[in-house]
Structure 1
Amino acid sequence: MSDSATFDPTKRAEVFFQKDLLRVKIIASYWAVVLCAIPLWWYTTSITRLPLPTSRVSALEWTDSFKFPVDLVVSRTAGDAPVSEAELERTIQRRTQLDSARWGALDVRIHSNNLQNRSDVFSLAFNSNPAGAAHILGDDTLSVSSATYTLPQIVDTLGELLSPYASLKHEADGQRVAKYSPKYRLSFTLLNEDVSSIGYRSWEIEQSIYQYLEPTLNQLRALHDFEIESHVQFYAPLAFQPERVQVSQNHGYWALGQEETAIFVNSAEWTLSSSASNDPVLHFILFIPSSQHRPMHVMTAQGSAANSNAFIIPQWGGIVVYNPERTTPQDVLDTRTLLPIFRTFHTQLQLLLGVPPAPKGTYHIPASNIPRTAPLTRWQLAALLRARTLENARSASEALRSIVALVAQIGHLPVKEDVRALVRAALDDLDAMRDAADLHRAFSSARDAATRASAAFFDPGMLAMLYFPAEHTYAVYTPLFAPVGVPLIVSVIREIKRIRKERAEERKRKEKGKARMEGERREE
């Protein structure tokens, strides 16, 4: 009891943890832990920034001026060709200078003799038919009448057949074509506005796809993989009320104008796709109006009923409005009834995928050895391959340039080995495309380049830091380190002040003692 009575906690020297030496050791131990943890913190928070091949990326400007070599053999007999090979080549060169949008991506080489063992050669033949139109004979020969076709007409026809952008005559055409994807899902949907008012409960979709679309899909599988799904919806109301157009007292129709077609798809109530996938979807909808809205017609921009009761939503799909003529219930749409509808779907599919049509006034006459199941000519497929090759090459080039620019602009953006490997692989693919000996190999290389460049650009590690600027670092570290750091810093400052104060007091005591001793000496 006597010890407790004499203990005074207000006196710092009597509290064991307030002893000066022990307190300094405690503070020093905290700082020792902090200093020892700094290397670990630095290692765990450091960002890997491997160097990128910026010089190779900077040299990718050639993708904007790349030219596809095209070998064209002029086949003729004596006296039936209106122009010489040299004159044809000079005319094409002049057109290239004047119309770079069409000819700029082509390097046409004219040959007068057949090139043996070459499957990528096209032919120009002349016939003596005085009233003959242009024909695509077989799969790779353009036959024109030497009596009716002039040199400019021949060059124009060749340009439409060979150019990768011949089918995109207007900017809207380019916006209509879906962005390239290695795989598409084709979704076919039978939509009844109200099946109870004389609609259809099913359709012979498998047979129709096999008969009318499968031949074209087989040819297009050189560029894309296709996954097909189908749906039937019994109740699919419109989100708007179509306009009634009264032609006569007893005759009228419901009109779908340009504004209505833009908002035709009722996404809130229509179930158009069921598969969970990242692959883009092209929709093909057969819409059956209810009996209250029949007949329903698509209107042109001029306000008249369109010849084809169908329209395209750019990069999304195509819609056909079908008005049944029957008045009695019928459950199934058979293949015969679906024939004109799937012809329209076939045209819409080609437009959405960018398949160039044959030039106006040019007809296809298949050769005996060409199967009827190949509706697209090699001219069309080659032009499509050129267009998609350029699209992929320029997409890859743009992605690679963006990666280099972002890494240079954002100092904390990581560049790991997997990203650098993808960038290098994409550059190698672009080099392989430039040096490819045939069009299919060039397309495959450009496709791989675009895929790898996109994977590098959207790498999760890069994206995570792209949306985490340096300012956010302070917001993260301040609440974490402030409660710990401030007491440690304050304690050090207090100890420094205490030591200075004690030293100052010690000096004063020494000075007073020295002065007292000097005074005592004087007195003696």
Structure 2
Amino acid sequence: MASSGNEEQKQPPPETKQSLWLRRAVIASFWAVVAFLGLPVWYKTTAIYRADLPLQDMTAWANGQVCKPVFPLHIAVQAPLLAQDAHHLLHATQQTLDDLSDFPAHQLHLAFAEPPPPANASQQVTADGSGPADLDDTVALSVRLIPVETGVTPRSQLQPFSATLDVYYQLSQIPTQSSTSSPLTTFIAHELHQLYAQERVRLSSLYSDAASQSKSLSPELTAQLQRDATRAFKYAPTYHLTFSLFTPTSSPSAWDIETALRQYMNPILESFAGISNFTIDTQVQLYANFSPSIRQPEYDENTKAWTIFKEDVSGFINAAEWPLSPSIGQGPTINFALYVPDEVQSPLFVKGSRDNSWLVPQWGGVMILNAQSHETTLTKEALVPAMQVFSTQLSSLLGLPQTPASLPLRISTLTRIHATSLLFSASSTLGALAQVYQKMPTIPVPDTVAKSVNLSLAHLRQTCESLRDGRFQDALQNARTADGEAEKAFFERSMVGQVYFPDEHKVAVYLPLLGPVAVPLIMAALKEVKAGIAALKGR
């Protein structure tokens, strides 16, 4: 017998309450494991540790709100033959010097090296009324007043290897008590002002705020600053010097470089000892051919010499075959290449001039040594011209100012310049780190970063205090440490790796792992919620 068309379709037997609550308990247990075990473990294992950083202090240093560097230069005046007029002379000179000041942060303070016999026992020995100055290692320059009876006066002579300025004068040029100025005071003030002219320009150019400069720089000074900046190496605590001898033949095969360096190069390296350390190595390369990218030397009938084209100077170094590695040693490598041409191509100069040496910015120096006799060994005497050229090139590559004529004064100027630039560099790095910390909350910040930041801030404060007290060598040491710690904190490995790891990558990692587990749990939960809502409506 056929079944009727309206017969109801058979339904599965109804689910018992026991099985219903069992299924719901299983689903709830899975969600309980996820909520009370899985999520806490995931959060704990993936939590990002971020050490607390003094963001307000870091930003304040970066904005220049904490320290405005000042450079008080103590100048010791030696006037043993002056008695009652000595104090008036010093005061009048200081007043004229202050009137000439065009960069307020650069301050010249005059004081007696040895107090002269005072006309009044209560009279102070400093020109600005601040009391006796500390005239030991803080003295930037000594001025010796020497009376003479002949010759043009007043006149001055700066000692080339001593921070001493001799001023010759006649007794009639000493200012009287009733006068506020005299030819002698005006002369001394202008000499001191001019002596530190280039230093003021370079220090003022380091200030990031253009308004802090007392006046706009001339185009000539601006061009000179840009040229010096592109030529010199960036400051480093240690430099590695490589002296290389290249020859296209088998001779010379040796050179007395150690003796030459010890006699001619070590004195200038010792002068820079307070700024940077140096390591040295030497090498000899035989059969060193020219780079194929330049033209071969041509013989000039007019000069009776072989010449290379000026436009080929930049490609003179055959970097493909000559062993000049820029990564030798601890710090940046400064290369000095001495090329001895073949006897058949000697003498060799740059075409259009008699130049046989040139400087390669931020690389080193090159010199062509046209030896009189081609011996197998270059003696110390034969290397004297090369050592003189390399010494000059080294000074330029290290950023040593060209003026004044006194080497100690130029070294002290370079010390102040480096201390200031490192202070600004460390402050800027800390400011950049503060911005990264605030804008990227997902990167980890270990305790080592906080330690380096605090250490950098401490040394920055010491740098500012040392500059204010005129202890520029201490300021350089502290600024060097501050900049190194700031760089160490900014380039922390664990932080740098997370900077280039966006959130999209995290989703791409978690989705294949959690997707197969999360979908069944979510669908089962939704199904039970839907069934519960339907049961409530059916009542």
TM-score, with structure 1 as normaliser: 0.77
Within a 5 Å distance, the mapping from 1:413-432 to structure 2 comes to 413-432=443-462
Distance 1:325 1:482, change over 3 A: farther
- Tell me the residue number matched to 2:384: 339
The 3-state SS of whatever aligns with 2:101 is helix
The 3-state SS of whatever aligns with 1:335 is coil
In structure 1, which of residues 125, 128, 135 is the aligned counterpart of residue 158 of structure 2? Answer: 135
Return the offset for 1:42: 1.1
Note if contact 1:430-1:445 (Cα within 8 Å) is conserved in structure 2.
Answer: yes
The 3-state SS of whatever aligns with 1:170 is helix
| d(CA) in 2 for partners of 1:158, 1:55 | 40
1:204 has 2:256 as partner = yes
How many residues get paired?
A: 461
| d(CA) in 2 for partners of 1:125, 1:162 | 22
- Tell me the residue number matched to 1:519: none
1:38 has 2:39 as partner = yes
- Tell me the residue number matched to 1:401: 431
Q: Structure 1 vs Structure 2: percent identity of aligned residues?
A: 28
- Tell me the residue number matched to 2:269: 217
The 3-state SS of whatever aligns with 1:337 is coil
Q: CA RMSD in A?
A: 3.6
Distance 1:223 1:255, change over 3 A: same
Note if contact 2:238-2:278 (Cα within 8 Å) is conserved in structure 1.
Answer: yes
Distance 1:64 1:356, change over 3 A: farther
In structure 1, which of residues 433, 442, 445 is the aligned counterpart of residue 478 of structure 2? Answer: 445
Note if contact 2:94-2:189 (Cα within 8 Å) is conserved in structure 1.
Answer: no
- Tell me the residue number matched to 2:177: none
Distance 1:496 1:244, change over 3 A: same
Distance 1:137 1:498, change over 3 A: closer
- Tell me the residue number matched to 1:58: 59
Distance 1:231 1:20, change over 3 A: farther
Return the offset for 1:400: 0.8
Which piece of structure 1 moves more, 380-389 or 450-459? 380-389
- Tell me the residue number matched to 1:373: none
Return the offset for 1:480: 2.9
Could you give the per-residue CA deviations for residues 438-490 of structure 1, whole angstroms, max 9, x where no partner exists? 22222211111111111111111221222223333223322332233233323
Could you give the per-residue CA deviations for residues 17-66 of structure 1, whole angstroms, max 9, x where no partner exists? xx766654554444333221211211222222333223322332168741
| d(CA) in 2 for partners of 1:227, 1:298 | 31
Return the offset for 1:499: 5.7
Return the offset for 1:89: 2.8
- Tell me the residue number matched to 1:118: 136
Structure 2 gaps of 5+ residues are 1-10, 115-132, 171-182, 204-220
- Tell me the residue number matched to 2:357: 310
In structure 2, which of residues 240, 245, 249 is the aligned counterpart of residue 195 of structure 1? Answer: 249
- Tell me the residue number matched to 2:334: 282
Note if contact 2:241-2:278 (Cα within 8 Å) is conserved in structure 1.
Answer: yes
- Tell me the residue number matched to 1:482: 515
| d(CA) in 2 for partners of 1:460, 1:13 | 65
- Tell me the residue number matched to 1:69: 72
| d(CA) in 1 for partners of 2:163, 2:368 | 37
Note if contact 1:124-1:142 (Cα within 8 Å) is conserved in structure 2.
Answer: yes
Structure 1 gaps of 5+ residues are 1-10, 365-375, 511-524
Distance 1:396 1:63, change over 3 A: farther
Return the offset for 1:247: 3.9
Within a 5 Å distance, the mapping from 1:364-375 to structure 2 comes to none
Return the offset for 1:324: 3.0
| d(CA) in 2 for partners of 1:107, 1:310 | 39
Which piece of structure 1 moves more, 45-54 or 286-295? 286-295
Which piece of structure 1 moves more, 233-242 or 153-162? 153-162
Return the offset for 1:112: 4.1
Note if contact 2:426-2:486 (Cα within 8 Å) is conserved in structure 1.
Answer: yes
- Tell me the residue number matched to 1:324: 371
| d(CA) in 2 for partners of 1:49, 1:175 | 39
Return the offset for 1:84: 4.0
In structure 1, which of residues 268, 271, 277 is the aligned counterpart of residue 323 of structure 2? Answer: 271
The 3-state SS of whatever aligns with 1:66 is coil
TM-score, with structure 2 as normaliser: 0.75
Could you give the per-residue CA deviations for residues 397-425 of structure 1, whole angstroms, max 9, x where no partner exists? 11111111211222223333221121111
Residue 213 of structure 1 aligns with an amino acid whose one-letter code is M
Distance 1:25 1:345, change over 3 A: same
| d(CA) in 2 for partners of 1:159, 1:274 | 35
- Tell me the residue number matched to 2:415: 385
* Structure whose CA Rg is larger: 1
| d(CA) in 2 for partners of 1:381, 1:158 | 14
